[in-house]
Structure 1
């Protein structure tokens, strides 16, 4: 069996509609956190390594995740405890210019279960990078959330954005499944 870890990506206050002053509320984030919390509790119970990734923008004028703000803090329902790693990043790919790869390799982790936000940005970029680096990946699709987006005058609702990311990830890059299938 490959040694596994849980990677929680950008589960930060600014993404939650329920957070007062949210700068980038994602429609399904409050639902996704329920499943992310299940994964976190199961990982803690089974002594699975847990890595929290926190996106902090480089400017106080960024649209969200501004440095030193409550919006950039990890959400209380997945707050790290002693022994859980926190990796800070400034780009969508959690491996880019961070110590994530070294942290994982030093612990001989070969498989990552990934959840968090946003499906179309940081989840997609991190999953693809992880696979390119040789890691096996499972995505807990119902523990991830996407944004409503617009392109070229076409509005795409969050659930379609999410599905349009999970479909190609599941066909080539990762084992994409519901949280219930990811629990030990």
Structure 2
């Protein structure tokens, strides 16, 4: 079994107040992967960020904390609520995967350099065979530590470079779909 982990595909990620993003095809690719997993009846884990800050768009009760309609969980799918970027920290996700004998995970979602990267690093460190799907993730423009504004694509590619070969195997949607169907 291979679990599909969909990270933070919440309504708050569609806010027009967010910085410019990359990969406008990410949602379509995530939807293709989700459809394939559901068709094969493989495990799907939907992760959402629940902020501890009452003013956050991800605070409990805010519409931004809700899953986007295309990624709403089915009744039998596992939902993980996290308060930090890493979906393994204080959520029981590792235990849930181990209890089902799942040793392989495919990670998609947002944002590449934050929750996706943090979750993939931990998955790899915990010994899971981890794939991050490059074209099924996205991120936002960000100013680096030296004060230079980096485009979302630059931030995305650096995050993927940080992961590939050490914590995860970075692949494309087509490659993943070709290997699991």
Structure 1 and Structure 2 fold alike (TM over 0.5): yes
Deviation at 1:79, TM superposition (A): 1.0
Question: Once structures 1 and 2 are overlaid, which stretch shifts more, 119-128 or 146-155?
Answer: 146-155
Contact residue 5 and residue 112 of structure 1 kept, 8 A: yes
- 2:132 pairs with 1:114: no
Q: Residues 111-166 of structure 1, C-alpha deviation per residue, up to 9 Å, x if partnerless?
A: 00100010010011000101111101011110001111012320000000000011
Alpha-carbon distance in structure 1 between the residues aligned to 2:75 and 2:172: 28
| Corresponding residue for residue 52 of structure 1 | 46
Instruction: Give 1:22 deviation, angstroms.
Output: 4.7
TM-score (norm 2): 0.92
Partner of 1:161, secondary structure, is helix
Unaligned runs of 5+ in 2: none
The aligned counterpart of 1:14 is 12
Aligned match of 1:135: 128
Checking the alignment, whether the CA contact within 8 Å between 1:6 and 1:49 is kept in structure 2 is yes
1:105 CA displacement: 0.7
Coordinate RMSD, CA, aligned: 1.4
Distance apart, 1:24 and its partner CA: 3.4
Distance 2:100 2:16 in 1: 35
Residues 30-53 of structure 1 show CA distances to partners (whole Å, capped at 9, x for unaligned) of: 421100000000000011100000
2:74 aligns with one of 78, 81, 104: 81
When the two structures are superposed, what TM-score results if normalisation uses the length of structure 1?
Answer: 0.91
Find out whether 1:40 has 2:38 as its counterpart: no
Distance 1:160 1:39 in 2: 24
Matched, 1:31 2:31: no
Q: For structure 1, which runs of at least 5 residues remain unmatched after alignment? A: none
